Amino acid sequence: MIRTVALIALVGSASAAGIYKSDEIGCTNAYDVITCDSYNTEAACTANDACLWDSADEGCDLAADKQTEWDGDNSATALALSAARNACRAMENTVAACTGNCAVGPEECIPILTKVTLDLKADTASAGIKGYLLAETISDTTRAIHTTAAACTAVAGCEFQTMTVGDQTMSRCQSPDYAKIQSIKALCVDSGATTYTTAAAAATPSGAGIAAPLMVVLSTLVAALAIFA
């Protein structure tokens, strides 16, 4: 059960911008967020020291100390991106109105990948949170606007997911976790290497069908990575 960056951004924080954990810690946490979220049972969740089972929501979160670190990095990026997010949020969430540095998102007009990349670079965000946020931005701006299974799966690199949280069933179109993990690795490189291996094993399906989604997401990320160079 991922505590999303978007939720933290909306809530806000008193943390100072530019204060981030090291790349090793940030990348480790970014991978662990995805790994923990992949566990569907308490036994699987508690077997990983990085994770904590939430019995109320019946989901797997980061362990408390790691969640605090992750929330700190998220809070710093929320401040760094607040001006861009507020500017986009003021626009109507339609293709005609949400323009410039903004693009249509799942629920509101949101900053485009290039704008997010430039603002995080200026804020010297660590590799882990940058990789995670860029992967989420790619997913939100190019995929999550597709609200039906047919529209979603017609876009390379997308999968239509249905999940049940409590007594509510929700569906969404998004980049699969294995594509997000590779986007994170593109920035983290060797940082968090051990947790990368665990995350990749938990998220990557077998079969030849994984190549196309990975190439779509990674090719979208190339321009953003050039900005960080």
* pLDDT tens per residue across span 77-113: 999 999 999 999 999 999 999 999 999 988 899 999 9
* Model confidence band, residue 13 (pLDDT cutoffs 50, 70, 90): very low
Assigned token pair, 167 = 């007594």
Contact between residue 187 and residue 225 where contact means Cβ atoms under 8 Å apart: yes
**Per-residue pLDDT tens for 104-137?**
988 899 999 999 999 999 999 999 999 999 988 8
Predicted local confidence at residue 115, as pLDDT = 95
**Per-residue pLDDT tens for 44-80?**
999 999 999 999 888 999 999 999 999 999 999 999 9
**Per-residue pLDDT tens for 27-36?**
999 999 999 9
Predicted local confidence at residue 206, as pLDDT = 47
* More confident call, 208 vs 221: 221
Predicted local confidence at residue 106, as pLDDT = 84
* Model confidence band, residue 205 (pLDDT cutoffs 50, 70, 90): low
Give the residues across from 172 on adjacent strands: 161
Give me the mean pLDDT over the 158-182 stretch: 80
Considering the chain, what is the average pLDDT of its residues? 82
**Per-residue pLDDT tens for 132-155?**
999 888 888 776 567 788 888 777
Give me the mean pLDDT over the 203-207 stretch: 60
Does the pLDDT value for residue 42 go beyond 80? yes
Q: Could you write out the three-class secondary structure of the chain?
A: CCCCHHHHHHHCCCCCCCCCCCHHHHHHHHHHHHHHHHCCCHHHHHCCCCEEEECCCCEEEECHHHHHHHHHHHHHHHHHCHHHHHHHHCCCCCCCCCCCCEECCCCCCEECHHHHHHHHHHCCCCHHHHHHHHHHHHHHHHCCCCCCHHHHHCCCCCEEEEEEECCEEEEEEECCHHHHHHHHHHHHCCCCHHHHHHHHHHHCCCCHHHHHHHHHHHHHHHHHHHHHC
Predicted local confidence at residue 96, as pLDDT = 94
**Per-residue pLDDT tens for 211-226?**
455 555 555 555 555 5
* Model confidence band, residue 1 (pLDDT cutoffs 50, 70, 90): low
Predicted local confidence at residue 9, as pLDDT = 41
